[in-house]
Amino acid sequence: MSAQSATLKSKEELIEKWSKPEVISGSDMLLRSLLLEGVDCVFGYPGGAVLYIYDAMYGFSDFNHLLTRHEQGAIHAADGYARSTGKVGVCIATSGPGATNLVTGIATAYMDSVPLVVITGNVISSLIGTDAFQEADIVGITMPVTKHSYMVRDVKELPRIIHEAFHIANTGRKGPVLIDIPKDVSAAKALFQPVTEVNLRGYHPTVNPNRNQVDKMVRAIEKAERPILLVGGGAIYSGAHEELYEFVTKTQIPITTTLLGLGAFPTGHELHMGFPGMHGTWTANTAIQNADLLINIGARFDDRVTGKLSGFAPKAKIVHIDIDPAEIGKNVPTDIPIVGDVKAVLQLANTLAKRADQADAWRAQIKQWKADKPFKYIDSDTELKPQWVVSLIHDTTNGDAIVTTDVGQHQMWAAQYYPFNKPRSLVTSGGLGTMGFGFPSAIGAQMGNPDRTVVSINGDGGMQMCAQELAICAINNIPVKVAILNNQVLGMVRQWQELIHENRFSHIDLAGSPDFVKLGEAYGVKSFRATNKEEARAAWDEALRHPGPALVEFVVRKDENVYPMVTQGSTIDQMLMGDSE
């Protein structure tokens, strides 16, 4: 990975190299434009409609492409790359089924505001609309889940479109942008000159906030007796973790970070209450329900955070800071709206904010709640508990790994028992809740962060949805460490069926799943199994010491539940605490 990245040239070098206008194909324009955007890895899968593009890659030493084993693996890898680096992720797929296999990944990125440029091939322009072989209206299909879309009709427009797509994807509220390129456009030739500026009329996201609104927030803090901060992924996407830390230090306001906001603020800090919502901490949920001022920083009041909307934060004045004005007031009525980039808002707020002096008793109360109501589980000396496994992973990586998760119980245990103290260290599907996301996203994270340990925590269900990507880890020696918490069941569905559907367990049995050790070995990945603590420590230690990819199957208790839990229709202070209470 490092050797490939080392061949990349700077934008200035590339502009100088290509400064002389020359006639080249649309495919060559595409590759050159991607390099000018600083793209150091593209994830993709070829097919008929993108053959000219893949032919242009042949012998192009500056261009780094990773061949996945499924288009969904490609887009999840691009997503993991983007979330973990802050750069735009890029993937390529062919027309028809290749393009439609990307839809789940596009929706995943859209829901979580992840910047992607998704490039698809299409049939030749004259056949569009004729139901030609492998034709699909991918622009129409993905319109609800893209920030913007392009259908390229003229090869001369391609360089401009590429650079506009990157600008749109990575500014304002970030998100995926689709570029659909008919096969004849990728083959056509025209004069190429590097594009150095992007100017989109009508697209000017509000970055700097209205000072009067920030003043209102500062005055509200001065009067508040029970203030809290609710911080979401927007604080990470804007790169505002240092400004956030300064804001909390100045104001001394207790803080809770959503699932996607974990890592924006050190989890171990005395003012951090954990994450809120359906499986969040007792302290965070109770504080929200009793706060008299709630400042939302870059979160969208998702239903898994708010619970029953009519009963959410009933005593609080609401401040909402967001880059997207459409989010403000959408779910929760807002008293002080502040539109702007989180980093810019906090930079201004830090010049004005003072300590919340009236909140001393509140801070003491929260400190006591944290001591009285931490996450708990009943450990076992005879079987592996998933919470213990996650703690093992945390302790052995010193909390410094990039952790990706799939979706389900293991995702919540990772959020609960792996404290995140750095931004972009947790990569997980929040809004869409996409099974199959965890493992390929780890590949993208590792490609973007070759010098960091990347751990993919998965369930036995989600792992089987993209297990074929083990091949590319083995072939390319991508050293992702895969932890499978195997409880032989669709765990979160089983938990809901137990607690809400009176133990009517319907179609959740995964006992017929493959032997994951044999599966990993079949792909050429060093693999281990652990059924108790001694085996777990030994297997995980060997996996971490192994220089390449490694897989450990942890056989955990089948009927373990995630607690606390807020059932749908309940307010977030109506928590089921489980057997540990």
pLDDT tens digits, one per residue of 30-48? 999 999 999 999 999 999 9
Q: How confident is the model at residue 3 (pLDDT cuts 50, 70, 90)?
A: very low
Active site residue 134: yes
Please tell me the CATH code under which domain 211-373 is placed.
Answer: 3.40.50.1220
Q: How confident is the model at residue 15 (pLDDT cuts 50, 70, 90)?
A: confident
Percent of the chain with pLDDT over 90: 94
**Active-site residue, from 174, 183, 370, 385:** 183
Please tell me the CATH code under which domain 386-562 is placed.
Answer: 3.40.50.970
- Which residues partner with 482 through β-bridges? 456, 551
Measured CA to CA in angstroms, residue 143 lies from 75, 109, 424 at distances of 17, 13, 28
Q: How confident is the model at residue 335 (pLDDT cuts 50, 70, 90)?
A: very high
pTM: 0.96
Tell me if 430 sits within 8 A of 453, measured CB to CB.
no
Vertex 170: Cα angle to 169 and 172 (nearest 5) = 95
Q: Where are the domains of the chain?
A: 11-192, 211-373, 386-562
Active site residue 11: no
Q: Which pLDDT score is estimated for 581?
A: 61
**Active-site residue, from 11, 22, 133, 223:** 133
Residues 417 and 34: their CA atoms lie apart, in Å, by: 39
Active site residue 183: yes
**Active-site residue, from 37, 63, 71, 560:** 71
Tell me if 452 sits within 8 A of 478, measured CB to CB.
no
Residues 357 and 306: their CA atoms lie apart, in Å, by: 28
Residue range 528-581, pLDDT digits in tens: 999 999 999 999 999 999 999 999 999 999 999 999 999 999 999 999 998 766
Percent of the chain with pLDDT over 70: 98
Same fold, 11-192 and 211-373: yes
Please count the other Cβ atoms lying within 10 Å of the Cβ belonging to residue 16.
12
CATH topology for 11-192 is: Rossmann fold (3.40.50)
Active site residue 135: no
Torsion of CA 282, 287, 288, 294, to 10 degrees: -150
**Active-site residue, from 273, 435, 492, 565:** 492
Active site residue 133: yes
Q: How confident is the model at residue 10 (pLDDT cuts 50, 70, 90)?
A: confident
Q: Which pLDDT score is estimated for 580?
A: 65
The yes-or-no verdict on residue 131 having pLDDT over 60 is: yes
Tell me if 256 sits within 8 A of 231, measured CB to CB.
yes
Residue 333: cis peptide before it, omega within 30 degrees of 0: no
Buried b / exposed e over 63-89, threshold 16 CB at 10 Å, is: bbbbebbbbbbbbbbbbbbbbbbbbbb
Mean pLDDT computed over 406-422: 97
Tell me if 450 sits within 8 A of 420, measured CB to CB.
no
Residue with tokens 């992607």: 116
